Amino acid sequence: MIGELVKYLAPQGVTRADMIEGAKGVVPHWQANPDLIRKHFMWSDDKRFACGFYLWKSRQAAEQGHNAEWRKEVEARTGQPPEISYFDVFLILDNEAGRLDELD
């Protein structure tokens, strides 16, 4: 499983409600991707950055999900390209479900 952290400039002057509304607008797109396991929508404490943490079935799926076209759209909207980092997810602790999952 691959974790992907995507970070880009958030629009200035927006409220939390604005961020939620904007995020809801892209939910159908991500729901339609069968290789995406989970997405967390996040906003930095200083309100400067919008972030997403994604769990993907593979690195290839992550790279396809955030392809060159998507990156260009983010850069056009924010004035800067997104920062993307990838992680090997090897354990998931889920306190709510009372589970610890070790991943291959």
Mean pLDDT over 86-102 rounds to: 97
For residue range 7-46, what is the model confidence (pLDDT) as tens digits?
999 999 999 999 999 999 999 999 999 999 999 999 999 9
In three-state form (DSSP H/G/I as H, E/B as E, the rest C), the secondary structure along the chain is CEEEEEEEECCCCCCHHHHHHHHHHHHHHHHCCCCEEEEEEEECCCCCEEEEEEEECCHHHHHHHCCHHHHHHHHHHHCCCCEEEEEECCEEEECCCCEEEECC
Q: Is the pLDDT of residue 75 over 90?
A: yes
Note the pTM of the prediction, 2 decimals: 0.92
In the block, which residue shows the tokens 């980092």?
Answer: 85
Distance CA 104, CA 4 (A): 17
The CATH number of 2-102 is 3.30.70.100
pLDDT at residue 104 in the model: 82
Distance CA 87, CA 73 (A): 24
Domain spans of the chain, in order of start: 2-102
- Label residue 50 by pLDDT band (50, 70, 90): very high
